[in-house]
Amino acid sequence: MFRNFTNLEELSLGDVNISLVLPTSLNISSSLKLLNLFNTRLQGILPHYIFNLHSLETLKLSGNSFTCDIPSEISVNATHLTSLDLSVNKLNGTLPSWLFTSPSLEILNLYSNMFSGNVPFESFSLPSLQVLDLANNQLVGHTDMLTFRKLTNLTVLCLSYNNFSGEWELDTLLTSLRNLEDLGLSYNGFSVTTENVNHYVNPGFRYLELASCKLKVFPNSFRAMKQLERLDLSSNKIHGQIPHWIGEIGGNQLVSLNLSHNFITGLPQFQWYGLSELYLQSNLIEGPFPTSICNMSILSYLDMSNNCFGGLIPQCFGNIISSLLMIDMGNNSFRGTIPSLYDDCADLQGLILEGNQLEVRICVGWVYMTRFVRYPIYPKIKNTTNLNQLTFSVRIAQYVWVIREQYGC
């Protein structure tokens, strides 16, 4: 395809649809330094010769449907790679050792493929590495934290959604990797512990995902993370009250907080005005509706289900109804009504209130769609197009999932 461009050094076709081109017919020039075929809808076998282009420094093939494996060996001259992004493809096989011994490699992104087997961490020698993303594959094996402590330039370390195992002491890792901004260890076989030291590190952290890591306490080291945008501690073994200083984390930068599926019994007051997603479901949280939620003016997703909340929902909750897309308060002990639900339901897509003593007026713009309703509410009213208002008790209608029709309220 590009056989006449013999002196071409950069080729960037990102987001250009070249799906009719066979990967084997690309004929990439050996003088190329940058090749960007991101999201070009290419599919089929990835030509191995691409990895042997001796001048290539940046290779970005993410967002396609390439298949086959990565070559087990490459030419000794092909050692200039600084950035390799093969994420979101269908690549498979095991990872060759040369990937982890390239001295100039700064970015290695293999996210969301079908790679399997053990990673050759024993030959790990990447002194320049800044980004390592192996998440969402089928990789296995014991992973020693010491392997990564020497990678002092790392800003991103993502290993989530694999089958790795090992014991990681969080404070030691954070102290060693002072430049780290993004850490993902979720849903492996890792056991993450913390000594809960009182010195705080890594104030520049942005993303922290430690779901299903057997974590038992809320680490003190999080307290310094003023720039945090996303925190996921779901499906752990965190017990008791969340510390009072949790509101210091992220500030207005925090967009998503997931504390679901733990053993948390209480929450302090917090002021995250920029929060868009709040997941507290499946804990042991007691008490009234947290009024600090009323200050989250751009909150879109709120899940408080399967807790021990009770009492009336405060009037101030009506202040944020208009921004919410999904509300799940199921299986608590709330009673009364939800303020402003009927008046400001224009964007609401989902409402689950089972297992409470709430009464709700239904917005005229909602249409009950059988494929979304697990326990349909009175089939005879499903197609009543002239219905202006419906008041029902959740004690009668045990499960609600309502989808808003295009025309709204």
- Looking at residue 361, its pLDDT comes to 63
For 381, list phi and psi in degrees, rounded to 5: -100, 0
Residue 171, H or E segment = helix 170-176
Cα dihedral sign for 64, 31, 93, 86? negative
**CA 237 from centre of chain:** 20
pLDDT at residue 287, rounded to an integer: 94
Q: For residue 146, what are the contacts with CB-CB under 8 A and spacing of at least 6?
A: none
- In the prediction, which pLDDT does 48 show? 86
pLDDT of residue 191: 97
Q: What pLDDT, on a 0 to 100 scale, did the predictor assign at position 76?
A: 60
The pLDDT value given to residue 78? 61
Q: Are the beta carbons of 222 and 249 closer than 8 angstroms?
A: yes
* pLDDT at residue 400, rounded to an integer: 43
Nearest C-alpha neighbor of 290 from the set 322, 325, 326, 317: 317
Task: Judge if pTM exceeds 0.85.
Answer: yes
Neighbours of 235 (CB within 10 A): 19
Say what the pLDDT of residue 239 is: 95
Q: What is the pLDDT of residues 241-271, one digit of tens each?
A: 999 888 889 888 999 999 999 999 999 888 8
Q: Is 69 helix (H, G, I), strand (E, B) or coil?
A: coil
| Closest among 97, 100, 109, 107 to 137, alpha carbons compared | 109
Domains of the chain: 10-300 (3.80.10.10), 301-409 (3.80.10)
Q: How far apart are alpha carbons 186 and 192 in whole angstroms?
A: 10
Tell how strand 43-45 and strand 65-67 pair up: parallel
Per-residue pLDDT at 381: 35
The parts of the chain modelled with pLDDT lower than 50 are: 367-409
